[in-house]
Amino acid sequence: MDDLSRDETADVAVIGAGLAGLVAARDLRRAGLRPLVVEARDRVGGRTWTRPVPGGAVEAGGQFIGPTQDRLAALAGDLGVATFATYNVGRARIDLAGGREAYKRAKRLLTELEGMASELPPEAPWAAARAAEWDAQTFHDWLQGSGEQAAFGVMRMLTTAVFAAEPAELSLLHVLAYIRSAGSVDLLTEVAGGAQERRFVGGAQALSVRLADAVGGDDLRLGAPVHRVRQAPDGVEVSARDLTVRARRAIVAVPPVLGGRIEYDPPPDGRAGLHLRMAPGSTIKISCLYGTPFWRDEGLNGGLMRDRGPVTVTFDNSPPDGSHGVLVAFSQGDDARALARLPAGARREAVLEVLGRYFGERAARPSEYLETDWAGEPWTRGCFGGNFGPGGWTRYGPLLREPFDRVHWAGAETSAVWMNYMEGAVRSGERAAAEVIAALGVP
């Protein structure tokens, strides 16, 4: 430790100021404990991020809330962050090989998957009777085995939209666990009646900003990447740049891929494998601003679904009053990886060509264009959340929430309900705080 390093003490060191870490800190405070939240970035909110652009601000990260996401809705209510309906009036542009027939066949496969998912114990997908069999194959293998060749384009589009990864990257059990944790395929994929139903006024990051205000500046350190968590018989020592926190317990609330970059002394049993194997997908999220949401006048709702890249999905992401237009475009999985390799000018051209093709010439000429490549964000390294490939759930699933002595784990990936969503992050923060409160014997 050099002379500039500060030593601080707290009851609980919370690593990561995303929704999970901040919700945990709020609950610890409510229980009369003192948390200290240590965050690598110079902002809070992690995978939620409202980025300013000339003429407005855009959602670069997580943004939607839908039915059954009750803990997130309760949090927004407590913090006074209102929601509004995602614009969904009119037709979506749909361009899928095989058209309606392909969609019908895909629906059959999705119904079959839902049936299989219902066999999983919600809290323990690895304990299902057929877990070993389902975890030994990729989702791609299962699709191939279904013989529904005609549905592959639709299934790939849905897979990359939900997981930001290709069917060949995912364990079949992972796909089933996701469906189980959300409740149904419709809840995952739909706008009305699904996870894309509503948005937050002012952007989803507002939740974290308000939580951080409530936690208080004294209990939050920004720009402090944690590199070591050491356990001693009487507590934990969390080392970040220029800062060492001594606490009774620690909550690690960072995505697994980054949890693996922290040195643990002693190392938690088996956890290194989990950190390596729960890999996030790839997404480039692109926001385009226009003077007006002109597509609405043509009876279009701004939605696009297509089975070829570089962009497969779009939404109308205009502000609630429609005072200007915003189209948000997603490039995901292999499409995002291919797009990322192009020079900036060629990326923009490729994305705008797609928008122009489906929403007219004006869509190819936005007043502002902003890309966020989450795989390139050093404190996220991919999104929407960690995915298990074959063998992951059965080997590492049981470790997801298992505390390691004085170290507890939070983050959207650790939630059995709405895993990898903001709802999952909130629930994980509440669960980890409750574990610590119980362990410290706080009445």
Ligand X SMILES: Cc1cc2nc3c(=O)[nH]c(=O)nc-3n(C[C@H](O)[C@H](O)[C@H](O)COP(=O)(O)OP(=O)(O)OC[C@H]3O[C@@H](n4cnc5c(N)ncnc54)[C@H](O)[C@@H]3O)c2cc1C
- Binding segment for ligand X (CB under 6 A), chosen from 85-93, 102-110, 253-261, 360-368, is 253-261
In terms of CB distance, is 134 or 384 closer to ligand X?
384
Q: Is 281 or 366 the residue whose CB approaches ligand X more closely? A: 281
| Strand segments (E) across 337-403 | 368-373, 386-388
- Residue 427 in contact with ligand X, rule: CB under 6 A: no
* Identity of the residue, 287 or 394, whose beta carbon is nearer to ligand X in the bound complex: 287
x-or-dash string of contact with ligand X, 97-136, rule CB under 6 A: ----------------------------------------
Q: Is the CB of 28 or the CB of 253 nearer to ligand X?
A: 253
> Residue 426: which residues within 8 A CB-CB, separation 6 or more?
19, 20, 23, 71, 72, 75
The CB-of-205 to ligand X minimum distance in angstroms stands at: 9
Sole window of 26-34, 170-178, 255-263, 401-409 interacting with ligand X (rule: CB under 6 A): 255-263
**Side chain identity, residue 411:** G
Q: Does 294 bind ligand X (CB under 6 A)?
A: no
Q: How far is the CB of 222 from ligand X (least distance, A)?
A: 9
Query: What H or E segment, with its residue span, contains residue 182?
Result: helix 172-182
Of residues 412, 417, 433, 437, which one binds ligand X by CB under 6 A? 412
DSSP string for residues in 229-246: EEEETTEEEEEETTEEEE
Span of 151-159, 288-296, 400-408, 418-426 interacting with ligand X by CB under 6 A: 418-426
Closest CA to 226 of 376, 49, 379: 379
Nearer to ligand X, 18 or 366 (CB): 18
How many whole angstroms separate alpha carbon 336 and alpha carbon 160? 10
Give the Cα separation of 112 and 139 in Å (integer): 13
Whether the CB-CB separation of 117 and 131 falls below 8 Å is answered with no
What SS3 state is found at 426? helix
Nearer to ligand X, 20 or 172 (CB): 20
Contact pattern for ligand X over residues 183 through 222, marking x by CB under 6 A: ----------------------------------------
Q: Which of 153, 167, 194, 255 binds ligand X (CB under 6 A)?
A: 255
User: Does 303 help bind ligand X (rule: CB under 6 A)?
Assistant: no
Three-class SS of residue 282?
coil
Residues 4-63 close enough to bind ligand X by CB under 6 A: 15-21, 38-41, 46-48, 61-63
How is the chain split among helix, strand and coil, in percent rounded to 5?
40, 25, 35
User: Distance between terminal CA atoms of the chain?
Assistant: 37
Q: Is 251 in the site for ligand X (CB under 6 A)?
A: no
Member of 425, 432, 436, 437 binding ligand X (CB under 6 A):
425
Selected binder of ligand X within 225, 333, 389, 392 (CB under 6 A): 225
Q: Closer CB to ligand X, residue 152 or residue 384?
A: 384
Query: Does 256 engage in binding with ligand X (CB under 6 A)?
Result: no
Residue type, 423: E
Dump the DSSP string for 283-343: EEEEEEEESS-GGGGGTEEEEEEESSSS--EEEE---TT-SSEEEEEEEETHHHHHHHTS-
Task: Give the nearer residue to ligand X in terms of CB position, either 40 or 128.
Answer: 40
Closest Cα to residue 142, out of 154, 133, 153? Answer: 133
Residues near ligand X (CB under 6 A) are: 15-21, 38-41, 46-48, 61-64, 225-226, 253-255, 258, 262, 283, 285, 374, 379-380, 383-385, 411-412, 420-423, 425
